[in-house]
Structure 1
Amino acid sequence: MSLESRVMEEIKTAMKAKDEVGLRTLRAIKAAILIEKTAEGGGEVLTEADELKMLNKMAKQRRDSIEIFVSQNREDLASKEREELAIIETYLPKQLTNDELVEALKQIIAQVGANSAADMGKVMGVASKQLAGQADGKAISTAVKTLLA
């Protein structure tokens, strides 16, 4: 079942259950899907990679907003973003723990043959593709810097 059809079914369920948070978030996902589909170069059907990329972008936006709202002592707005983020994350693959991320990156570093910070670009290229959706790009970058230092 595609993401779009899953979201449409869950919108119906959220409407029946009068779940305002779920409905708001699901409608945001639906809107993002429509934007992707109608964007220049977009096709009628989104690939799984496109869906994953879109959901990661939405999750990152929520995390950034939470950070800003917390720094400005706006807990009311931060809590709304946390609620939406929790729902968006249900559509994403399980995120790697820090230890799992480090182990995966050690294997990638060995595979690429990197041995200094100058090889970071090689490692990041492979890591970004292999770990897409499983870890945040910022976390990957920080871990790679640490491992290559």
Structure 2
Amino acid sequence: MRDCVFCRIIAKEEPAYIIYEDDKALAFLEHRPSSPGHTMVIPKKHGETLVDFSPSELSMVFRAVQTVVKALEKTFATTMLTIGTNYGELSGVPHLHIHCIPRFPDDGGGIIQSVVYNRPKEDLKTIQERIKRHIQGCPPVLTWRLTYCS
């Protein structure tokens, strides 16, 4: 998609500091980093949400996330990261992306829930019941199977 900046990065039509690439995913440094090494991992296939991808496609993207995380841990001597998946209209770019943000003591960051502040007006039991009604009416999209990669 020509109007998607991430698709243009994949096509090498837009500059980016690429740190990892395979046939299914690409990882590059965030252009407005929250932390040294703040990296975006994106699928090479354009899709806006998790349900736009097959289980095997998602598996390959998250394999790339795992590779990037291991490199970030070694590079920045940390075992603390915030990893967040963004998609949808408010994500900034309409292309599934996963932030991998190295964390450090006293970095001023918070828990991942701190990025949104919209306290529910309903109690948790009511919310649970509402979600479960929808889950029961939806066919499973993903079927997970453990496979070990060499």
Q: TM-score, normalised by structure 1?
A: 0.29
User: Which of these two proteins has the greater Rg computed from alpha carbons?
Assistant: 1
| Higher strand fraction (1 or 2) | 2
Higher relative contact order (CA 8 A, sep 6+): 2
